[in-house]
Chains A and B, each alone.
Chain A
Amino acid sequence: MKPFRFTSETGLVRWTGYKAQDLNSFLDGLEKVGGSSIYYHFYQSLYRKHFLAVDFMHDFARWVLISLNLPPLAERLAQIDPTDYHSIRKARERMIHYVRDFIGEGGQWFRIPATAAFYFLQQDSFVIRTGHEAGDLQGFHDCLKQVGESSVYYHLVEARIRLGGADNDFSAWLEHELKEKALADRIRALNIHRRPIGVTRELVVAAVRRRLEDGGA
Chain B
Amino acid sequence: MSGRVELDAYADVVGQSEIEEIRVIADRLQGFKVQHVNSTRVGGGVAEILNRTVPLMEELGLDVRWDVMRGDPAFFEATKLIHNALHGSSVRFPPDIVQTMREVTQRNADVPWPEADVTVIHDPQPVGLVQFRGKTGKWIWRCHIDLSEADIRVWSFLRMMVERYDCSVFHLPRYTKELMIPQYVLPPSIDPLSPKNEEIPLPEAREMVSRLGVDPDLPIVLQVSRFDRLKDPVGVIEAFRLASGQEPAQLVLAGGGADDDPEGAKVLAEVREAASRVPQVHILDLPPDRHRDINALQRVATVVVQKSVREGFGLVVTEAMWKGKPVIGNAVGGIREQIIHGMTGFLVHSTEGTALRIRQLLGDPDLCRRMGEQARESVRVNYLLPSILKRWLVMFLAVHRDLRGVVSLDD
Tell me the count of chain B residues lying within 8 A, CB to CB, of chain A. 42
Q: Is B341 an interface residue (CB 8 A)?
A: yes
Question: What is the bound-complex CA distance between A66 and B406, given in angstroms?
Answer: 31
Contacts A10-B25, A48-B382, A51-B374 known; A126 to B403 CB distance under 8 Å? yes
Q: B21 to A150, Cβ gap below 8 A?
A: yes
Q: B410 to A129, Cβ gap below 8 A?
A: yes
A100-117 vs B, Cβ < 8 Å mask (1 yes, 0 no):
000000000000001101
Contacts A125-B406, A128-B25, A148-B15 known; A15 to B183 CB distance under 8 Å? yes
Q: A117 to B24, Cβ gap below 8 A?
A: no
**B397, chain A: closest CB distance, angstroms:** 7
Question: What is the bound-complex CA distance between A107 and B267, given in angstroms?
Answer: 47
**B186, chain A: closest CB distance, angstroms:** 7
A1-14 vs B, Cβ < 8 Å mask (1 yes, 0 no):
00000001011111
**A59, chain B: closest CB distance, angstroms:** 11
Q: Which of A134-192 contact B (CB under 8 A)?
A: 146-151
Q: Is A124 an interface residue (CB 8 A)?
A: yes
A127 in complex: contacting residue of B18, B182, B408, CB < 8 Å: B408
Q: Is B173 an interface residue (CB 8 A)?
A: yes
Question: What is the bound-complex CA distance between A36 and B407, given in angstroms?
Answer: 13
Q: Is A130 an interface residue (CB 8 A)?
A: yes
A49 in complex: contacting residue of B16, B340, B397, CB < 8 Å: B340
The residues of B that contact A207 with a CB separation of less than 8 Å are none
The residues of A that contact B148 with a CB separation of less than 8 Å are 114-115
Q: Is B404 an interface residue (CB 8 A)?
A: yes
Q: B343 to A52, Cβ gap below 8 A?
A: yes
Question: What is the bound-complex CA distance between A185 and B398, given in angstroms?
Answer: 37
**A135, chain B: closest CB distance, angstroms:** 19
Question: What is the bound-complex CA distance between A121 and B394, given in angstroms?
Answer: 18
The residues of A that contact B394 with a CB separation of less than 8 Å are 10, 12, 126
The residues of B that contact A127 with a CB separation of less than 8 Å are 406-410
Contacts A13-B186, A15-B183, A126-B398 known; A119 to B406 CB distance under 8 Å? no
**A78, chain B: closest CB distance, angstroms:** 15
The residues of B that contact A147 with a CB separation of less than 8 Å are 17
Q: Is B395 an interface residue (CB 8 A)?
A: yes
Question: What is the bound-complex CA distance between A121 and B186, given in angstroms?
Answer: 12
Q: Is B184 an interface residue (CB 8 A)?
A: yes
Question: What is the bound-complex CA distance between A211 and B226, given in angstroms?
Answer: 58
Contacts A12-B391, A14-B185, A50-B381 known; A124 to B407 CB distance under 8 Å? yes
Q: Is A72 an interface residue (CB 8 A)?
A: no
Q: B407 to A14, Cβ gap below 8 A?
A: no
Q: Is A215 an interface residue (CB 8 A)?
A: no
The residues of A that contact B16 with a CB separation of less than 8 Å are 146
Tell me the count of chain A residues lying within 8 A, CB to CB, of chain B. 37
Q: B24 to A131, Cβ gap below 8 A?
A: yes
Q: Is B280 an interface residue (CB 8 A)?
A: no
Q: B20 to A119, Cβ gap below 8 A?
A: no
Q: A119 to B174, Cβ gap below 8 A?
A: yes
The residues of A that contact B176 with a CB separation of less than 8 Å are 15, 119
Q: B21 to A8, Cβ gap below 8 A?
A: yes
Q: Which residue of A lies closest to B170 (CB)?
A: A15
Q: Which of A27-72 contact B (CB under 8 A)?
A: 36, 47-52, 66
**B282, chain A: closest CB distance, angstroms:** 33
**Most-contacted residue by chain B among A19, A119, A148 (CB, 10 A):** A148
Question: What is the bound-complex CA distance between A147 and B18, given in angstroms?
Answer: 8
Q: B382 to A126, Cβ gap below 8 A?
A: no
Q: Which residue of A lies closest to B399 (CB)?
A: A12
Question: What is the bound-complex CA distance between A147 and B24, given in angstroms?
Answer: 12
Q: Which residue of B lies closest to A126 (CB)?
A: B394
Q: Which residue of B lies closest to A49 (CB)?
A: B340
Contacts A15-B183, A117-B174 known; A148 to B406 CB distance under 8 Å? no
Question: What is the bound-complex CA distance between A147 and B15, given in angstroms?
Answer: 9
Q: A115 to B174, Cβ gap below 8 A?
A: yes
The residues of B that contact A14 with a CB separation of less than 8 Å are 182-185
The residues of B that contact A47 with a CB separation of less than 8 Å are 381
Question: What is the bound-complex CA distance between A89 and B397, given in angstroms?
Answer: 30
The residues of B that contact A148 with a CB separation of less than 8 Å are 15, 17-18, 20-21
**A9, chain B: closest CB distance, angstroms:** 9
Q: Which of B356-411 contact A (CB under 8 A)?
A: 374, 377-378, 381-382, 390-391, 394-395, 397-398, 403-410
The residues of A that contact B186 with a CB separation of less than 8 Å are 12-13
The residues of B that contact A49 with a CB separation of less than 8 Å are 340, 343, 378
Q: Is B110 an interface residue (CB 8 A)?
A: no
Q: B185 to A13, Cβ gap below 8 A?
A: yes
Q: Is B178 an interface residue (CB 8 A)?
A: yes
**B394, chain A: closest CB distance, angstroms:** 5
Question: What is the bound-complex CA distance between A37 and B175, given in angstroms?
Answer: 19
Q: A15 to B173, Cβ gap below 8 A?
A: yes
Binding site for B on A (CB under 8 A): 8, 10-15, 17, 19, 36, 47-52, 66, 114-115, 117, 119, 121, 124-131, 146-151, 196
Closest 3 CB pairs of A and B: A119-B173, A148-B17, A128-B409
In the complex, 5 of the A-B residue pairs with CB atoms within 8 angstroms, ordered by the A residue number, are A10-B25, A49-B340, A119-B176, A126-B397, A129-B410
Binding site for A on B (CB under 8 A): 15-18, 20-21, 24-25, 148, 173-174, 176, 178, 182-186, 332, 336, 340-341, 343, 374, 377-378, 381-382, 390-391, 394-395, 397-398, 403-410
Extra 10 A-B pairs, beta carbons < 8 Å, given A10-B21, A128-B21: A10-B25, A14-B182, A15-B173, A119-B173, A126-B403, A126-B407, A146-B17, A147-B17, A148-B21, A151-B21
